[in-house]
Amino acid sequence: MTQLAPFLIEPQFVKRIWGYRDLRPWFDKVASEQPIGEVWLTGDACVVASGPQKGMTLASLFALHAAAMLGADAASSDSPLLVKMLFAREKLSVQVHPDDQLAQKFGEPRGKTECWYALAAQPGAEVALGLKPATTLDAIEQGARNGTLEEWLEMVPIATGDMVYVDAGTVHAIWPGSVLLETQQNSDLTYRLYDYGRGRELHVAKSLQAVKFKTAAGKVAPKVLADRTVLLDAQYFRIERIEGSGRKTSAELRRHNGPGLAYLFAAAGSGRIAGDGFEDVPLPARGIIAVPATAPEFVLDDTGGLELIRIVPNRPGQK
319 in any annotated domain? no
Rounded Cα gap, residues 19 and 37, in angstroms: 4
Domain count of the chain?
2
User: Measuring CA to CA, how many Å separate 54 from each of 48, 57, 60, 163, 167?
Assistant: 5, 9, 12, 33, 34
Contacts 24+ apart (CB under 8 A), 62-67: 65/2, 65/4, 65/292, 67/1, 67/2, 67/293, 67/294
Q: Are residues 242 and 201 in the same domain?
A: no
239 in Cβ contact with 115 (< 8 Å): yes
Structural domain boundaries, residue 248: 223-313
Which residue stretches of 78-122 are H helix? 100-105
229 in Cβ contact with 223 (< 8 Å): yes
* Predicted confidence (pLDDT) per residue in 46-75, tens digit: 999 999 999 999 999 999 999 999 998 887
Q: Are residues 140 and 278 in the same domain?
A: no
User: pLDDT at position 1, please?
Assistant: 72
187 in any annotated domain? yes
Rounded Cα gap, residues 219 and 129, in angstroms: 10
Q: Are residues 211 and 274 in the same domain?
A: no
273 in any annotated domain? yes
What are the residues whose beta carbons fall under 8 Å from the beta carbon of 133, sequence distance 6 or more?
A: none
101 in any annotated domain? yes
Show which of 219, 234, 264 is a domain's final residue: 219
- Beta pairing, strands 153-157 & 228-233: unpaired
Residue ranges of the chain whose pLDDT lies below 50:
317, 319
Residue 75 CA, chain-centre distance (Å), reads: 21
* Predicted confidence (pLDDT) per residue in 253-270, tens digit: 998 777 799 999 999 999
Rounded Cα gap, residues 181 and 158, in angstroms: 13
Q: Are residues 238 and 106 in the same domain?
A: no
User: pLDDT at position 319, please?
Assistant: 46
Q: Are residues 231 and 208 in the same domain?
A: no
261 in any annotated domain? yes
Which residue stretches of the chain are H helix? 58-64, 66-70, 100-105, 137-146, 204-210, 250-253
Torsion of CA 42, 129, 268, 224, to 10 degrees: -100
Rounded Cα gap, residues 239 and 116, in angstroms: 10
What are the residues whose beta carbons fall under 8 Å from the beta carbon of 25, sequence distance 6 or more?
A: none
User: pLDDT at position 75, please?
Assistant: 76
- Global pTM value: 0.96
Rounded Cα gap, residues 206 and 137, in angstroms: 12
Q: Are residues 150 and 196 in the same domain?
A: yes
75 in any annotated domain? yes
Q: Are residues 138 and 238 in the same domain?
A: no
Rounded Cα gap, residues 209 and 141, in angstroms: 11
Residue 264 CA, chain-centre distance (Å), reads: 12
Show which of 219, 248, 279 is a domain's final residue: 219
Per DSSP, the three-state class of 121 is strand
Per DSSP, the three-state class of 197 is coil
Catalytic residue among 192, 228, 241, 310: 192
2 in any annotated domain? no
User: pLDDT at position 223, please?
Assistant: 97
User: Measuring CA to CA, how many Å separate 71 from each of 13, 263, 281?
Assistant: 29, 14, 22
Where residue 248 sits, what CATH number does that domain have?
Answer: 2.60.120.10
Beta bridge partners of 120: 179
228 is catalytic: no
Torsion of CA 218, 216, 88, 264, to 10 degrees: 90
Q: Are residues 237 and 196 in the same domain?
A: no
Look up residue 30 and give its DSSP letter.
Answer: B
User: pLDDT at position 317, please?
Assistant: 47
C-beta atoms surrounding 231 within 10 Å: 24
